Structure 1
Amino acid sequence: MWPSRSRTETVICTACGDQFTRSMAREYDKYGDRWDRKDKTFEYLCKPCHSDLCHHPRTDLEAILVEIGAGDTDEETFLSAYLETVEKRYGRLEEES
């Protein structure tokens, strides 16, 4: 039997933790490939949190985070390792004026 269309699916925003109806959320795929849906589980962001995201390409971001052990160190150690890794791969970061 098919699920009822009148049932409202709710999801939790991974950024703020609030619960929203699925229609008020945006799918988030940490690998950046939300179009390939085979064997995939999505996370969700509410529309305000999704709007706050940087929507530039994030090539290699997940690989860098895994490589430097994101989540396993304190913030200062993480930021230092991240900056060092990014500068080695892409050159020194410069602020725009």
Structure 2
Amino acid sequence: MWGSRRDRDRSTVVCIACGESLSREDAREYDKEGDRWSRRDKEFEYLCKGCYRGLSHQPRDDLEALLSEVEAAAGGDSQEAYVRAYQREVQRRYGDPDAEPDADAEDADGRGD
């Protein structure tokens, strides 16, 4: 007979968000590819339950590709260089998130208010 799931993995893992060390059974798996059900040839990262609850579960189409491109562009200089490169690339692709809405833009009803 198979042993209980609790007996399988008693290792300690580290939450990638807050750095807390916790038992594997108390952690949640995080798959950066967004498909934790496909397990072949994968190594998972882990989140504590608190960080997992705070995680956005929205689709993240092309996010990993964007992050990889930014990492290559930043050249591994520093975390600050990485963040600046990420901000530039997001602004280039999607526009300035802090920009005021275009005054000429109209609402869906066409009234512009």
Unpaired runs of at least 5, structure 1: none
Cα contact 2:12–2:24 (8 A) shared by 1: yes
1:32 to 2:34 alignment? yes
Q: Compute the TM-score of the two structures, normalised by the length of structure 2.
A: 0.64
1:41 has 2:43 as partner: yes
Spell out, residue by residue over 1:16-51, the C-alpha distance to the aligned partner (whole angstroms, 9 max, x if none): 2312241x2211101111122222222221101211
Task: Trace 1:1-97 onto structure 2 (pairs within 5 A).
Answer: 4-5=3-4, 7=7, 9=9, 10-12=11-13, 13-15=15-17, 16-22=19-25, 24-69=26-71, 72-94=76-98
Greater RCO structure (CA 8 Å; 6+ sep) = 1
For the pair shown, the structure with the greater C-alpha radius of gyration is 2
- Work out the percentage of aligned pairs sharing the same amino acid: 44
Counterpart CA distance in 1 for 2:28 and 2:75 is 24
CA deviation after TM superposition for structure 1 residue 7, in Å: 2.2
Q: Find the residue that maps to 2:7 and give its secondary structure.
A: coil
Q: Which moved more, 1:64-73 or 1:31-40?
A: 64-73
State the match for 2:104 in structure 1: none
Alpha-carbon distance in 1 for matches of 2:42, 2:91:
33
